[in-house]
Structure 1
């Protein structure tokens, strides 16, 4: 087995590998409360990319982001975009051969919709309607109809980004199945105690009591889309000019356009059925992968699986 790319006891040995909008922020918050897990600060370091325009970080800074709990068994980072890019997963596996992995998943139709909402919040998406953005996926894949605010068109190809069955299958080309636990997001709401106990068993650590299981990163909506687009343009301009510090302008823009929490419904039933039909094969693939090793999923309203 190859050795780690980082000094002993410094590099990551636990990744929340993906997927975005599947409860990864909540999972990171829960793990951070365990004395044996040091979650990177920030949670999403983007050290391994994977998208163009991702903020850079030195190896030393990367290790320091997980150094706030000396002696902790696990040093964890949680950049959920990694899972969607096989080359990124392969590099992570090669540089961290002893690592374990948590993969959070959900219904692919809901995931694609939530990803569209997220990139709109980030100012990368200029098509407000998910249905229209979904229909534009082939154009985006070809690099067409990509707004200037988006540095990497792959962020907008929602069918590819939400194909978690294929993504986990690809990851198994470089990661042993027993080192990955796949967890359906719905299990966090249904029976968090069982999820927590199973996850701790998978990691080989004691079950920490008194953890605050409040959900994190709830769905939000945009008040001023144009203002957020301006913020994204400013961010790209700063990076091109090599400006790392803040100018205060972006902060002021975001304070005006700050997203607000919403309980708004997700997909319309007709569109949901269409998108779910598109992902039918990927859903079957995901089920096969889940049943082949450590996992937690909903079966007849009950959390089922093992670590």
Structure 2
């Protein structure tokens, strides 16, 4: 659904009526259900009278005047095969719900690649109050129109060229997704998928924010995954909480006898023991973490 034009003067309204009626080739239908064939002089004058008021001539004299009508187009996908009668009814119901006091007149254009309904909607209502159609109103009209077609059994969805407030919404969503992962897969394989190394448990995660995949390895991953009932597609928080240094005993041998021992910091692979936090309820304000050793 979109606004394609407007008329500011009574003459402009007549021109818009002639345009959507294809100079009389198409039948018009107004918001009260009356039909017009403007090839007939009397019916043409009746259609003009329906969409204009006497005071329009005083207020709307030239193109600098406020708009009198909007020219709107309602369309649906060709694959939906919406009938002319259902299209008219869906548009009529949509506009009457949104603007119950504003008159309009419609025509169905089916001689194009995408059949659609043209509508001329009066901007001043029956009491002289003007409507101001904003982006959110266009969204409402699209959603109501799609809903009316769905009620009539058509498989259609509402789309928006511009989603109101989308930028700020996406920014909030990215902040909310920081530190969250989708579980891609898990199992047991050669460490870092190197055939020369021994088997180790692993879990592959995809960040929600940047869609980056990363694989973590850990001895206790299997039992933790089973205990927490993690499945591919689960969304979890997973973070390394920091290294912890371990100490072991270095035995002192003198004259082939154990003479004592002293604590030392381990080196190599045993020096750092990574501690991982896993939380299956990442959106809770307070969360308990299960620690996984690697």
* Shared fold per TM-score greater than 0.5: no
Q: Which has the larger radius of gyration?
A: 2
Normalised to the residue count of structure 1, the TM-score between the two structures is 0.18
Structure number with higher relative contact order (C-alpha < 8 Å, ≥ 6 residues apart): 1
Bigger strand share: 2
TM-score, normalization by structure 2: 0.19
